[in-house]
Amino acid sequence: AQSVTQLGSHVSVSEGALVLLRCNYSSSVPPYLFWYVQYPNQGLQLLLKYTSAATLVKGINGFEAEFKKSETSFHLTKPSAHMSDAAEYFCAVMNEKLTFGTGTRLTIIP
């Protein structure tokens, strides 16, 4: 069985501060991992994905994530938050299907 756990259903950061959204996975096979973003009243959009190549993955809008097998983690970071980053973020693991975490709502404080 596969699953992802996102720690923190709500995260607030100040504009310009570091964004860190946590994701831990469980998978019986080497995982393929994804981060998606959902802006209000929209569908999901891929931010980045880990496909067992480089462990540090760069995505769109300045986001990146690092795969750490020893910690079973795939945390999402961005050095400097913008107001436009306010959204819901989902971590997901792929086996035969895409299994999503429960999401983290990111709020940016002006």
Interface with another protein (CB under 8 A) = 29, 32, 34, 36, 38, 41-46, 49, 51, 88, 90, 94-100, 102-103, 105
User: Smaller CB distance to another protein: residue 77 or 105?
Assistant: 105
User: Smaller CB distance to another protein: residue 56 or 110?
Assistant: 56
Which among 82, 72, 87 is positioned nearest to 109, based on CA atoms? 82
Tell me how far, at minimum, the Cβ of 66 lies from another protein, in Å. 17
Q: Residue 58 burial by CB count (10 A; 0-12/13-18/19+): exposed, middle or buried?
A: exposed
What letter would DSSP give residue 72? Answer: T
Tell me how far, at minimum, the Cβ of 101 lies from another protein, in Å. 9
User: Smaller CB distance to another protein: residue 13 or 33?
Assistant: 33
Q: Which two tokens stand for residue 110?
A: 């002006």
Pseudo-torsion of CA 10, 31, 94, 13, nearest 10°? 20
Tell me how far, at minimum, the Cβ of 87 lies from another protein, in Å. 11
